[in-house]
Amino acid sequence: MLNKKRKICFVTGTRAEYGLLYWLLKEVQDDPDLLLQIIVTGAHLSPEYGLTYKAIEEDGFKINEKVEMLLSSDSAVGIAKSIGLATIGFADAFAQLKPDLVVLLGDRYELLAAAQTALVAATPIAHIAGGDTTEGAYDEAIRHSITKMSHLHFVTNELSAKRVRQLGENPSHIYCVGNPGLDYIRKLNFLSKDELEHDLGVTFGKRIFLITFHPVTLSPGESANQFAALLQALECFEDLNTMYIFTMPNADNDGRLLSTMVERFCSGRTSAIFYKTLGQKRYLSLLSHVDLIVGNSSSGLYEAPSLKVPTVNIGDRQKGRLKAASVVDCQPDREAIQIAIKEALSLDCSKVTNPYGDGYSSERVIKVLREIKDYKRLLKKHFFDMGNNNE
């Protein structure tokens, strides 16, 4: 009798997360012994965020389940209720699909719901990108919580691997694979600047700034103030024929307020434009052509160094992550951001090394998934005490 394919279920709630997972999804899809399952949720299903689940289908993937969860609110109460709705939805989805392993990447609140649902259903979890620290967002606590509910750990760097060990996880189940988003960079046929101009319907300026700013969820009420300081700083560079390209913020606390501020800034400015979603190919192609990425997104730390693009990283949202020499940190005030932009523009990033890997992450992950024949044996975990050696 033929061996039954093992069902590997991926959960994705945002465009950025899906882009990081793309090549791993392809690896699982093409493996003769594995069966790919995909559950989409969160912003993927929202018209406000571009209905990005359609891009997943256009890429040739089958979506097995859709978990509706987003309420029409970006308040703390609304998001907490959305997590509750997601938990109910994942309970039904996992009961229907009966996956052998659930794969979660990162630290979004959608994934917290998926992790706790898989936990009580006795379904093993593989977590990608655990062990990082980001002190300015509640993603920090979510990430470590998912680590404790997970059974396989695919971390992006050795420092993160050490932190996962500090959480008591089995060292033999921690694999340093790098950031899977770099696989896309290694394999992508980038669009030229002319192709991008035609595709996006714009004419680029002499300089291009890519602006990606997300809510700072551990500082209620501060997101708008910090973003206003960034916009004020950008105004000082308008006389240099600079074009500003904005991507929209995540579906987090105050995300809608920031989106309104983006729209207001771009209104009436021929030098500023925003996109709800670009897709991974257009986004990375654009990133490869810009002079600078400004904001507080992990993309400025994860992907930009591989493309030799300098990053201005604002505030504490990414505080604690490993940073390449191309990253300039600054406080979230107008003057500090202006100074950081000038410093970043003066950097020579041609020899920058990305601390998050070499673009072969997916191959490393799929190798582990193939080698483990019985995921259920991972369920009963023992706490590995590091003692006083911290090693």
Q: Give me the pLDDT at residue 142, please.
A: 96
Distance separating alpha carbons of residues 170 and 214, to the nearest angstrom: 33
Q: Residue 3: is its pLDDT beyond 70?
A: no
Q: What is the mean pLDDT of residues 74-86?
A: 91
Predicted TM-score (pTM) of the model is: 0.90
Q: Express each pLDDT in 216-234 by its tens digit.
A: 887 888 999 999 999 999 9
Domain boundaries, the chain: 6-178+359-378, 188-345
Q: Give me the pLDDT at residue 48, please.
A: 83
Q: Residue 128: is its pLDDT beyond 70?
A: yes
Q: Which DSSP category does 137 fall into?
A: S
Distance separating alpha carbons of residues 289 and 299, to the nearest angstrom: 15
Q: Express each pLDDT in 171-216 by its tens digit.
A: 999 999 999 999 999 999 999 999 999 999 888 988 999 999 998 8
Give the type of residue at 163: R
> 188-345: same fold as 6-178+359-378?
yes
Of 209, 208, 207, 228, nearest to 315 by C-alpha is 228
Distance separating alpha carbons of residues 252 and 349, to the nearest angstrom: 32
Residue 127 dihedral angles phi and psi, to the nearest 5°: -115, 130
Give the type of residue at 180: P
Q: Give the residue, 205 or 355, on which the prediction is more confident.
A: 355
- Lowest-pLDDT choice from 18-32, 54-68, 154-168, 240-254: 240-254
Distance separating alpha carbons of residues 316 and 322, to the nearest angstrom: 13
Return the percentage of the chain with pLDDT > 90, whole number. 80
Query: Could you tell me how many residues make up the chain?
Result: 391
Tokens (6 digits) for 180: 């899977």
CATH number of 6-178+359-378: 3.40.50.2000
Residue 96 dihedral angles phi and psi, to the nearest 5°: -75, -45
Which fold does the domain 188-345 belong to in CATH? Rossmann fold (3.40.50)
- Helix (H/G/I), strand (E/B), else coil: 370: helix
Q: What is the mean pLDDT of residues 263-287?
A: 91
Q: Give me the pLDDT at residue 1, please.
A: 39
Q: Express each pLDDT in 294-350 by its tens digit.
A: 999 999 999 999 999 999 999 999 998 999 999 999 999 999 999 999 999 999 999
Q: Residue 82: is its pLDDT beyond 80?
A: yes
Residue burial 73-96, b: 16+ Cβ < 10 Å; e: rest: ebeeeebeebbebbbebbbebbee
pLDDT band at 388 (very low <50, low <70, confident <90, very high): low
Give the DSSP H/E element, type plus range, for residue 259: helix 255-266
Q: Spell out the long-range contacts of 382-386 with Cβ–Cβ below 8 A and sequence spacing 24 or more.
A: 382/170, 383/168, 384/165, 384/168, 384/169, 384/170, 384/171, 385/168, 386/165, 386/166, 386/168
